[in-house]
Chains A and B, each alone.
Chain A
Amino acid sequence: MAKPKQEVLSTEGTVKKYLTKKDYITFSMARFAASAISGLTQGYLLIFYTSVMGIPPVSVGVMFLVAKIFDGLNDPIMGTLVDKTRTRWGKMRPYLIFGAVPFGLITLMLFMPMTSLSLSAKMVYMYATFITYGIFGTLVGVPLDGLPAVTTPNNDERTKIISISRVVGSIGEQSALVLYSLFAIFFDMKNSFMTMGIVIGILAPIFLILGALSLKERIPATKETPKVLDGFKYMFQNKQFLAMICANLLTFFRNLVTATIIYVVTYIYFNGSLNIFFALPGAIAGMLGMLLAPKLKRMMDAKQLFIAATIFHSVALMLVFFVGFNVPWMVTAGLMFFAMLPVGILNVVPHLMAIDTLDYWEDKTGKRQEGIAFAIVSLRSKISSAFKDFVLAGLLSFFLFTSPLVSINSPSPWQLDFTRNGIFMIFTIIPAVLNLLSMVPLIFYKLSGKRMAEIQGRLEIKRSAQVIEAEAALEAAANGAEYQEPITAVSGEVENE
């Protein structure tokens, strides 16, 4: 008889544990490493290209737009590739083990100041390295995300490893921030970036490989890789999901705030090492907001929460703008802490709304298409990121941001007042006003708290019936009848060890 495909009970009747402390640590460190790389590239690549490499902001913006959309479309292809892989190490670990070093190397290459090249050569270098970075990032990122699901059949362990590694990962994302603030004290901008690229590019693969070597793939994942086209079909069928995606697509304006911090500290306060005092409180405020979100969700529905958080964020940013930057930097940084509080909520709400739209669709059609929906959510996130960089680069160009023509060891200290005011506006009033646009698609989002309660009530009844059915099937299986696939979340055989 086939082994049950559910959590395995030990002989004492307790749920068997598969993961050791070491597994939690090594996997979390792998997540830390991957997040450190993404934190480095998301936070510093634009200023590296514009202020060190001397590439005009518009050209960098176009490159980000093209490369990130290409990367977003590339994701499902990488997913398929991983799905079709069969090796004795499993399907995911080989990509982490063999992809980590090239991923680290390409990260290191991204921050090599190739300042002696001509502009055309710099552009070719920029496109080639960033697109390659995107490919390796997906090649390593997809298996890294998928590994917890196949490393243990124990649901509690899986939840625990995901939660711990996510928290450690969010700390890892800030590591570049800490490094830059530290290096900026001792080095000029060019050498700070280069050293960060070298440190993270060399250390990250070590942690990624250690994480991959430590964990074992115990369950062959059966989840099908969703197709992007199916995702688009689903999006246009499920109008609530479409409204949610459109609203969230427009939230990219608020990401301008964090993306501009490095320009604010460099060109407004003339001190790159202040970066940590601006970005870290924002990150902490974001985490606090994330913790607050579930509590607030009990008081209002996801749509109300989204609107309230968006308005709070916009009003607080407007306040920072009106206070201006001719005040001690501590005042601006302190005000930014409050302005960033709703951002954590706004990071969580799309997921809550996505789940609501899934429930709505399940209630309406009987189908629950999580894979497809989250593939679109992930694509939306990449497109938002591409738009954010494109808009930021475009605005910098509009505000006459000057890239240095000659490679000098410090960025030009003199940007026009128009540029410095423009940078402060990109940091405050521009996202404050444009953020409000994200509320417009929500006019068409009808999943209010009352309606969701009704939907969830109906679904609960339906699911209870399904559980009774499943229990009956299991009972039949225990009585010798042929085992049938359980309908609960995780499936997959436990690997013989």
Chain B
Amino acid sequence: MNKKKWIMGVALILVCIFVLAACTAKEGTHFEKLKQNIEKLQENYAEVLKNIAQETNYRYTIEFESETLSNYDDVNRLMPGEREPSQSKMWYKPKLSYTYIQDGADWYVELEYTEHKTNADGVPQYTDKGGKKPEYLNVVRAEYRYVGSVLSVKVDDSVVYTGTLAGFDPSDYTHDILYLGSGNQLEQFLGAIDEDVVYSAVTRSWFGQKILSYRTYQVRATGLASQYESYKDSALTSGYGEDLSFDWEKVQDVFNQTFSYTAKKDRLVKLEYYTEVIGSYQRSNSWYGDRISASKTIIEITYPTAKKPVTIPA
């Protein structure tokens, strides 16, 4: 039995060692490692950006989805159900898809916007009682074709403009979809990495693909006019790494972004961008945070091959 007790003792000590080893690293070590990870990520990122800037013939599609909690009271910081217990969460979920083709100096854009139906009070409508399946109103299409320095714009298959690029102003038209943008949207997802807000950065290599991903956290104090600040030195946060926590009583909301770049042979083939806003709310005299909006953007880029050239559709 003594031997058994000894084995049990050693096993328990090992368990304790594992628990201690698994706990968070010291603050200095954590941020030093984070800095190294960011540097490594930036090296790869620069390589990917350099290559995409040199491309003159490619195609990409953007799939965008978002969800916003339409009945969150951001002034009083109340979640649905807190004021009226019967009220459930009503998510507003529009969708957008976007195709861009670059062929030398010519380009082509096709975009589709799927509207989530709302009633006269702006309350989103659903096809099920549980409020999980949005009722979509309609799909609006727009097409921009810039070929030989002539821009032609179509909305739902009707030509609304033909002329120079500089002469086109969406505000001249009643179609909201034209405000959603034309031309190359890729650049807005390829900006410099703001190191100050980066929370984690990782690089993975997998069967000839390189995946670069980083996540940021920003927080702002109560009041809708207050500005977002980095999680790092904010008085509204405590801890670091996975122990990072927020003083929800003093926080209006937390904004986090995740960027991911997938490169194949140093060519950018996929870009993912996710956002999430976590709003504060009170329940039983305690303050918490929960999602009040989120979005997902997936961009997939294809390059011409001998078999599949990338051209502007006729």
B22:A123 contact, CB within 8 angstroms = yes
* CB<8 Å pairs between A and B, sample of 7: A74-B8, A127-B19, A398-B204, A400-B213, A408-B291, A413-B67, A416-B272
5 A-B pairs with least C-beta separation: A414-B274, A120-B23, A119-B242, A59-B22, A119-B243
Question: Are B213 and A416 in contact, CB atoms less than 8 angstroms apart?
Answer: yes
Give 13 A-B pairs besides A120-B243, A398-B204 with Cβ atoms closer than 8 angstroms: A66-B18, A118-B243, A118-B245, A120-B24, A123-B19, A123-B22, A403-B242, A405-B217, A406-B278, A413-B296, A414-B276, A417-B298, A418-B260
Complexed CA–CA distance, A131 and B4 (Å): 17
* CB-based contact A416/B258 at 8 Å: yes
Determine if B48 is an interface residue (Cβ-Cβ < 8 Å). Answer: no
B32 at the interface (CB under 8 A from A): no
Q: Which of A123, A131, A408 meets B289, CB within 8 Å?
A: A408
Interface string of A125-148 (1 = CB under 8 A from B): 001000100000000000000000
A70 to B243, CA, bound (A): 28
Q: What are the residues of chain B within 8 A of A127 when measuring CB–CB?
A: 15, 18-19
Q: Is the CB of A414 within 8 A of B258?
A: yes
Tell me if B22 and A118 are in contact (CB < 8 A).
no
B262 adjacent to chain A (CB < 8 Å)? yes
Q: Are B272 and A405 in contact (CB under 8 A)?
A: no
A59 to B14 alpha-carbon distance, docked (Å): 15
Q: Are B19 and A124 touching (Cβ within 8 A)?
A: yes
Asked if B181 lies at the interface with its beta carbon under 8 angstroms from chain A, I say: no
Task: Give B210 Cβ to nearest chain A Cβ, in Å.
Answer: 11
Does residue A455 face the partner (Cβ distance < 8 Å to B)?
no
Report chain B residues within 8 Å CB of A118: 239, 243, 245
- Bound-complex Cα distance A297 to B199 (A): 57
Would you call A77 and B243 a contact (CB within 8 A)? no
Cβ–Cβ contact A406 & B22, under 8 A: no
- Cα of A148 to Cα of B85 in the assembled complex, Å: 51
Check if A409 is an interface residue, CB within 8 A of chain B.
yes
* A296 located at the interface, meaning its Cβ lies under 8 Å from any Cβ of chain B in the complex: no
A369 at the interface (CB under 8 A from B): no
1/0 per residue, CB under 8 A from A, across B6-48: the answer is 0110010011001100111000000000000000000000000
**How far, in angstroms, from A66 to B19 measured CA to CA in the complex?**
10
B294 at the interface (CB under 8 A from A): yes
Residues of B within 8 A of A398 (CB): 204
Asked if A56 lies at the interface with its beta carbon under 8 angstroms from chain B, I say: yes
The one of B239, B272, B276 that contacts A417, using a Cβ cutoff of 8 Å = B272
Q: Is A163 an interface residue (CB 8 A)?
A: no
Is there a chain B Cβ closer than 8 Å to A330's Cβ?
no
Q: Residue among B15, B199, B244, B296 with the most chain A CB within 10 A?
A: B15
> For residue B290, which residues in chain A have a CB less than 8 angstroms away from its CB?
408-409
Give a binary string over A435-468; 1 marks a CB under 8 Å from any B CB, 0 the rest: 0000000000000000000000000000000000
Chain A residues whose CB sits within 8 angstroms of the CB of B244 once the complex forms: 405
Residues of A183-230 contacting chain B, CB below 8 A:
185
Are A418 and B211 touching (Cβ within 8 A)?
Answer: yes
Q: Which of B226-268 contact A (CB under 8 A)?
A: 239, 241-246, 254, 256, 258, 260, 262
Establish whether residues A418 and B19, one from each chain, have CB atoms under 8 Å apart when the complex forms: no
Q: Which of A73, A119, A409 contacts B7 (CB 8 A)?
A: A73
Q: Which residues of B sit under 8 angstroms from A416, Cβ to Cβ?
A: 211, 213, 258, 260, 272
> Does A112 sit within 8 A of B, measured CB to CB?
no
Kindly list chain B residues whose C-beta atoms are within 8 Å of the C-beta of A409: 290-291
**Contact between A413 and B213, CB atoms less than 8 A apart:** no
Chain A residue contacts of B256, Cβ below 8 A: 405
In this assembly, does B202 line the interface, its C-beta being within 8 Å of a C-beta of chain A?
yes
Q: Does A170 contact B (CB under 8 A)?
A: no
B154 within 8 A of A: no
Residues of B within 8 A of A56 (CB): 242
Residue in contact with B18 in the complex, picked from A63, A120, A418, CB distance below 8 Å: A63
Q: Are B260 and A73 in contact (CB under 8 A)?
A: no
Confirm or deny: A54 has a beta carbon within 8 angstroms of a beta carbon on chain B: yes
Bound complex: CA A135 to CA B156 (Å): 67
> Bound complex: CA of A403 vs CA of B276, how far in Å?
14
Complex interface residues of chain A between 409 and 424 (CB less than 8 A to chain B): 409-410, 412-414, 416-418
Whether A400 and B211, one on each chain, are in contact in the complex, defined by CB atoms closer than 8 angstroms, is yes
Closest Cβ of chain A to B21, distance in Å, is 8
Q: Are A400 and B270 in contact (CB under 8 A)?
A: no
Do B22 and A62 touch (CB < 8 A)?
yes
Look across to chain B and name the residue whose beta carbon is closest to the beta carbon of A417.
B272
Which residues of chain A come closer than 8 Å to B15, judged between CB atoms? 66-67, 70, 127, 131
The answer to whether B11 touches A418 (Cβ under 8 A) is: no
Most interface-central of A67, A74, A123 (chain B CB within 10 A): A123
Asked if A407 CB lies within 8 Å of chain B CBs, one says yes
Residues of B with C-beta under 8 A to A120: 23-24, 243
* CB-CB nearest in chain A for B288: A407
Residue from B7, B19, B22, B211 with most neighbouring chain A CB atoms (10 Å): B22
The residue in B202, B217, B254, B272 that gathers the most chain A C-beta atoms within 10 A of its C-beta is B272
Given A131-B15, A406-B254, residue A412 in contact with residue B22 (CB < 8 A)? no
Given contacts A67-B15, A418-B260, contact A400 B204 (CB under 8 A): yes
Residues of B within 8 A of A418 (CB): 204, 206, 211, 213, 260, 262
Beyond A409-B290, A414-B276, A414-B296, whether A62 also contacts B18 by CB under 8 A is yes
Q: In whole angstroms, how far apart are the Cα atoms of A118 and B11 in the complex?
A: 25
* Contact of A70 with B258 in the complex, beta carbons under 8 Å: no
Shortest Cβ distance from residue B168 to the other chain A in the assembled complex, whole angstroms: 34
Bound complex: CA of A131 vs CA of B243, how far in Å? Answer: 23
B266 to chain A, nearest CB (A): 17
Q: Pick from A77, A120, A414 the residue with the most CB of B within 10 Å.
A: A414
**A108 to B270 CA separation, bound complex (whole angstroms):** 43
Of the candidates A55, A77, A413, A414, the one whose C-beta lies within 8 Å of that of B8 is A77
Bound state CA distance, A298 and B261, in angstroms?
55
A61 to chain B, nearest CB (A): 10
Q: For A400, what are the chain B residues with a Cβ–Cβ distance below 8 Å? A: 202, 204, 211, 213
Tell whether, in the assembled complex, residue B278 and residue A417 are in contact, meaning their CB atoms are under 8 Å apart: no
Docked Cα-Cα span, A412 to B291, in Å, equals 9
Q: What residues of B have a CB within 8 angstroms of the CB of A119 in the complex?
A: 23-24, 241-243
Inter-chain CA distance A403–B19, complex, in Å, is: 19
Asked if B270 and A417 sit within 8 Å, CB to CB, the answer is: yes
Minimum CB–CB distance from A413 to chain B (whole Å) comes to: 7
Q: Which residues of A contact B7 (CB under 8 A)?
A: 73
In the complex, residue of chain B having the shortest beta-carbon distance to the beta carbon of A270:
B132
Residues of B with C-beta under 8 A to A123: 19, 22-23
CA of A70 to CA of B241 in the docked complex: distance in angstroms?
30
**Which of B7, B23, B260, B278 has its CB near the most chain A CB atoms (within 10 A)?**
B23
CA–CA, A123 to B7, complex, Å? 23
**C-alpha spacing A406/B248, complex, angstroms:** 11
